[in-house]
Structure 1
Amino acid sequence: QAVPRIVAAMDAAAGAHAALPTALGDFGAFPNFRRPGVVWIGMDNEPRLELIHHDVETACDALGYPLDARPFRPHVTLARVRHPLGVEPLRALSRAARAGAGASFSTVIRSIDLMCSTLRPEGAAYELLHASPLRES
């Protein structure tokens, strides 16, 4: 029942924004490289991307979903770390992040996607429930 309302809110928010180019570059880890749970590559925090995030979050708040208290950090998840890493894997991860520093490539964000995450013993499985297209510029 909630999904159609969320989809309608996403479609309205997406329709107010044009597709936007962005660059991917710096590597990071949540919560940090000493205890990585997620390894990611960051996205330029372009003001238009922040506006899209704000509009979607405001629409979901109006539907009764709580706002996320964490800061918005646009990124692409590269890997999830299930078990604590030893010293050597941590050093290798740190070297790879330093080696990749300054490298970037461009992409275009064309939609806002609603995903369903199902946790399984072998890791999370993701299913695309809906894609709200951004306007072509």
Structure 2
Amino acid sequence: MRKRNNWPLVALLALAWSPTWSEASPATPRQPNILLILSDDHARDALSCYGNTDIDTPALDRIAREGMRFNHAVTPNSFCTPSRAVVLTGKYSHANGVTHLNQSFDGSQQTFPKLLQQAGYETSLFGKWHLLSQPT
């Protein structure tokens, strides 16, 4: 007669009952995902979620519907380089040092992505940087 190895069954039963041996720890709250989409040179109604009937933007419409939508926004600059520096730092151009096109950004400044990283987020940049420096 062949001898059976019951250790896998015993281990499985022990694992199945192990949650009852200890007090359940509270689940750590998850941080929300953040997706910031920044684009150049389009009016508010360039997306169908803002009323455009000529262009269908279903993916962006879904993000707007299920996430946060900004209905009132203003830019202090008409050029992309200084506008991007303002979004990154939260400071006006005269304070962050980027006042015109094709100007280098001082990456030693506090930025929104750095604050997110300090809060435990992983940050990434896709697309146009346009600040003549390395992303911060």
TM-score band, normalised by shorter chain: under 0.3
Name the structure where helix makes up a greater proportion of residues.
2
- Higher RCO (CA-CA < 8 Å; seq separation 6+): 1
Which of these two proteins has the greater Rg computed from alpha carbons?
A: 2
Q: Give the TM-score normalised by structure 2.
A: 0.24
Q: Give the TM-score normalised by structure 1.
A: 0.23
